[in-house]
Amino acid sequence: ASDQMAEQVLEVLEELDSDDILVYSVDGSPQIKTALADLSSPMQAVGAQSPINIGKKAVETAMAKLDGGAYEEEVSVETFLINRENVEMYGTDGWQ
């Protein structure tokens, strides 16, 4: 589920003092990446995409359309996995 749901799951697991459930999510929020960096957290990985790159592509497409230029009608956005091995590369203080 989304990072917002994962945050709730992490809170419940902490209240239950449970360490036998592993948590995965989708989005790549700073809060979830912080949990990934905490080796005692049950957070294991997050599937992410870059909101910054999505925004840039949206503006490029809008500008091309407004100017009557060529643009892709369908755009795929690269996704990636952030886990404990690479969370430092993405940082915990913001989105990608």
Give tens-digit pLDDT for 12-71: 999 999 889 999 999 999 999 999 999 999 999 999 988 888 999 999 999 999 999 999
CB atoms within 10 A of CB 82: 19
CA angle 43, 48, 50 (to 5 degrees): 140
Per DSSP, what are the bridge partners of residue 27? 48
Strands 23-27 and 80-83: unpaired
**The pLDDT of residue 96 is above 80:** no
CA atoms within 13 A on the CB side of 61: 11
Q: What is the pLDDT of residue 18?
A: 87
